Amino acid sequence: MTTATKKKKTAVSKTKSEATGIKMKKGSKYQCGVCGIAVTVDEVCGCVEAHNIICCDKPMKPKKK
């Protein structure tokens, strides 16, 4: 008789911005090119599909340092 062992899977974030193709990470900063507002990513959802952060009807771009 054999016993099946369960493999433990770890969640890996694959969330990317569709506009830039850049992988979003906790602490990433984005800025609106129209109004200038800036946001910081607090939590990454881990979804497989890409997401955009939208402001002023346009995707936000990674903030330049």
Q: What is the pLDDT of residue 60?
A: 92
**One-letter amino acid of 38:** A
**Domain spans in the chain, listed from the N-terminal domain onward:** 29-62
- Residue 53 near residue 44, CB atoms below 8 Å: no
Q: What is the pLDDT of residue 43?
A: 86
pLDDT digits (tens, 9 = 90+) for 5-63: 554 443 333 445 555 566 778 898 999 999 999 999 898 887 877 778 899 999 999 98
